[in-house]
Structure 1
Amino acid sequence: MTGLSGCSNAKPDQLRIGWTAWADADVVSLMAEKLIESHYEQPVERVMADIGIQYDSVARGKLDLMLMAWLPKTHDKYWQKVSDRVVDLGTMYSGRIGWVVPDYVPKQRIGSISDLSDPKIANDFNNTVQGIDPGSGLMQASEKALTAYDLSDLKLISASGAAMTAVLDRAINDDRWVVVTGWTPHWMFARYKLRFLKDPKSVFGGQEGIHAIARLGLDKDHPKVVAFFTRFKLSDGQLDAMLLDAENTSTEEAVNNYIANNRNQIDYWMNGTMQEPKDREAKP
């Protein structure tokens, strides 16, 4: 695992996969690395970079793949710049973004983002929305939400994904009101009772697909890898269970557990010769 600046030092035969420090990105990219290396004997270098840099790097051939393309809406700004210079390998799993509150916050007080325009309600949340890294599509959409819902008095705070969940955890432990930028899949929805605030102006869009994006020519250089990603699919239940396992143990242990307990699905991903299991829920 390196930063993007380390790409120039990568070995020629290494497959370079971009990732970012989001809960689902960590799990999915590590699983891809382990499976590609163990089944195809193909060395993999995971390269951490901001999401916008990843799109540009795949388009320029500095990265072979990125696994966090939220389409069609969240990352549309990035996608429009590179869509004719990359290859979409398809959806790996589904997701949603928006603003999230603990379920103990009364729905009759706040059920929609628009309710935050009431100064009394906004004050109950300390006039802040806890966000994540500023380059993310979620934060860009959150900036648009401030304008769309006339929430100029609210402060959108940038931080890491881990910092966001730490703020959420402290607020819940203290039974305080808090609103955070959130997304599914994420382990926090399995650990806490949370809900998305309604978004009547559809600033955040609806359900989206998280896609694998490849550089041009990767299908010729690494046909097995490209075929793998066209078959690599996870249900909401599978990924949620793995993310919670990762939070309770470690990303490494959670990925190893999933691989060990879902051999039939793994075999299908890697060689395409077996039927996908009808029951797509994760095994314990």
Structure 2
Amino acid sequence: MIFRKISQFVLFTILVIALAACGSESKSDDSGNAADKSDENKGTITIGQINWPENIAVTNMWKAILEDKGYNVKLKLIEMGPQMAALAEGDLDVAPEIWLPVQDKSYYKEYKDEANFFEEPWYENGKVGLAVPTYMEDVNSIKDLNEHKEKFDGEIIGFEPGAGTMLVTEDVIKEYGLDYELVDSSTPVMISTIKKAVKQEKPIVAPLWKPHYIFSEVDLKFLEDPKNTFGGVEKIYMATREGFSSDFEKVSKWMKNFKLNDKQLGELMVYTKNNQDNPIKGAEKWVEENQDLIDKWMK
């Protein structure tokens, strides 16, 4: 009887110790996993995206870089006007593409006190204007357009309404007294319309910009702009919401160090274009091949 009680006590003691050990291991694993997750996920950054080739390329590049560093990155497809408003309201972290001094000057003036516009551009060789196919030898200046209105059906084929270049094109129509309608569409529709017209050697005029892969695929020329309404060389800047630099100090510093030249941006655009269905794959490949450049931004 006594032996049985002792045996039961011993078994009970062993069971308690075993359960305690399991609980201790479980707590250790949970805390370890939580720590790992905390290290891996350094916060969520939402970047505004517009369906422009260079924008798709750069936003996916940053997604690839930052997710490799442990951040969660969301790309939010949103047109320029709403994008700047969302940035000012704090609903968006990063607006990666502001063209200055001309194209997006209206947005800069409106939101400069509500968002943080970077002082230095990440790209310094932009150009914007009205473009036509090179086979249109009689149309070389914006001033020539009214004379050839019937050829173009009185239409300038545009892209997303609200984009800075679309707003400037409206100014160009007024400044030059053009009897034309600026047709809203989307960037993919505009590009496909240009390609189709060039293939059939038909007249077409559209507001375009460099860098853009369309210039390597079809022969186009910018029309002279004697009144300089589109401006000269445009530079591309980033902007972030108020408080972003304190919430994501390292990322803010990296983005301020970010620079691309024509060759680098051109290659990045090709990589993402070749992976149109999943541009992040192209961006990841470019990031892998340009790690030395990216390391400079991370200093």
TM-score (norm 1): 0.85
Residues 247 and 44 (structure 1), Cα distance of their counterparts in 2 relative to 1, 3 Å cut: closer
Any conservation in 2 of the 1:71–1:210 contact (CA below 8 Å)? yes
Q: Which amino acid aligns with 1:104?
A: Y
1:38 maps to: 68
Rounded to whole Å, the distance in 1 between the matches of 2:94 and 2:275 is: 27
Deviations along 1:91-117, whole A, 9 cap, x unmatched? 1113221111112221xx111001112
2:220 maps to: 194
Runs of 4+ off more than 4 Å: none
1:256 maps to: 284
**Structure with more of its chain in helix, by fraction:** 2
1:218 maps to: 244
Rounded to whole Å, the distance in 2 between the matches of 1:254 and 1:239 is: 13
Q: Of 109, 126, 151, which aligns to 1:124?
A: 151
Any conservation in 2 of the 1:190–1:244 contact (CA below 8 Å)? no
Percent of paired sites with the same residue: 29
1:63 maps to: 92
Deviation at residue 265 of structure 1 after TM alignment: 0.4
Map 1:101-180; keep pairs closer than 5 Å: 101-106=132-137, 109-118=138-147, 121-152=148-179, 154-180=180-206
Deviations along 1:42-92, whole A, 9 cap, x unmatched? 111111212111112112211111101111211111111111222122311
1:50 maps to: 79
The answer for unaligned runs of 5 or more in structure 1 is: 1-10, 273-284
Q: Of 91, 101, 109, which aligns to 2:121?
A: 91
Deviations along 1:8-30, whole A, 9 cap, x unmatched? xxx99311111111111111111
Rounded to whole Å, the distance in 1 between the matches of 2:289 and 2:115 is: 34
Q: Which moved more, 1:165-174 or 1:259-268?
A: 259-268
The answer for unaligned runs of 5 or more in structure 2 is: 1-40
| Equivalent pairs, count | 255
Helix, strand or coil at the partner of 2:121: strand
Could you say which structure has the larger radius of gyration? 2
1:266 maps to: 294
Q: Which amino acid aligns with 1:139?
A: M
Rounded to whole Å, the distance in 2 between the matches of 1:17 and 1:155 is: 33
TM-score (norm 2): 0.81
Any conservation in 1 of the 2:47–2:93 contact (CA below 8 Å)? yes
Deviations along 1:219-258, whole A, 9 cap, x unmatched? 1111110011111111112212332343344323431231
